Amino acid sequence: MLLPALRAEVCQLHALLPANQLVAWTSGNISARDPDTGLIVIKPSGLKYDQLTFEAMVVVDVDGKVVEGDLVPSSDTLSHCYIYRQRPDVLGVVHTHSRYATAFAALRQSIPCVLTAMADEFGGTIPCGGFALIGGDEIGQEVVRCLAASRSPAVLMQNHGVFTIGKSAEAAVKAAVMTEDVAATIWYARQLGEPLPISPEHIDVLYQRYTQVYGQHPTADTLS
């Protein structure tokens, strides 16, 4: 079997999506790219989260062709692959319809940088891309276009949900969790009034500190 360790990692990471209330029923998916072979491990289409096993994961090449696996890969596979082809730095992609972030997406609203946690993790606003149909690589094109002009590892897709990228699948999952967390906080804040923006200068200082100084290792685990 190809890539057993990466299959196991991607399978285990999928459990974090329902655990963090980021998905309902079978929605959402995670993929990871093996840096040595370039092959991608991705969730099979339409399986419930408690049915996922590492054997059920599908291995595809960077063009989305199934290399190993008995099941059909996620309907978002071609978009994941487009992102990997365009972004050699990306080794993990996550997609959810998490509730609060997707509420912003329903209105094509970006999530404004009004929390220090956002400046830390996202380096600014989480952008919202335009509408794209599911099934081809159109979503991937819009994700890449939006993130090229942003430090954020997360992007919303109009009327759809959240896509995140990372230097690992776990980093992309972290970005998906943090996206929903800040979206919920800002939703609550808006019940009280209009949240105050953080100045671009302060966002830069916070982002630099968090990505270069914070934590046990002086490196970022999300993309810059």
**Which residues from 29-88 bind Zn ion, rule CB under 5 A?**
none
127 vs 161, which CB is nearer to Zn ion? 161
CB of 26 to Zn ion, least distance (A): 10
Shortest Cβ distance from residue 165 to Zn ion (Å)?
15
**What is the distance between the alpha carbons of residues 219 and 185, in angstroms, rounded to a whole number?**
27
Applying CB under 5 A, the span of 51-59, 112-120, 158-166, 168-176 interacting with Zn ion comes to 158-166
Whole-angstrom Cα distance, residue 144 to residue 187?
Answer: 26
List the x/- string, 112-151, binding to Zn ion by CB under 5 A: ----------------------------------------
Q: Which of 220, 223, 173 is nearest to 31 (CA)?
A: 173
CA separation for the pair 67, 179 (Å, rounded): 32
Task: Give 179 or 211: the residue with its C-beta nearer to Zn ion.
Answer: 179
With contacts defined by CB under 5 A, name the span among 80-88, 159-167, 184-192, 210-218 that binds Zn ion.
159-167
Nearer to Zn ion (CB atom), residue 74 or residue 211: 74
Half-sphere exposure of residue 20: CA atoms within 13 angstroms, side-chain side: 21
At closest approach, how far in Å is the CB of 29 from Zn ion?
Answer: 8
Sequence-distant (≥ 6) Cβ neighbours of residue 179 within 8 angstroms? 98, 101, 111, 122, 126, 154, 162, 164
Extended strands (E) in 65-117: 66-68, 92-96
Q: State the minimum distance, in angstroms, from the CB of residue 44 to Zn ion.
A: 15
CA 32 to chain centre: 11
Considering only 32-40, 148-156, 161-169, 177-185, which stretch makes contact with Zn ion by CB under 5 A? 161-169
Contacting positions for Zn ion (CB under 5 A): 161
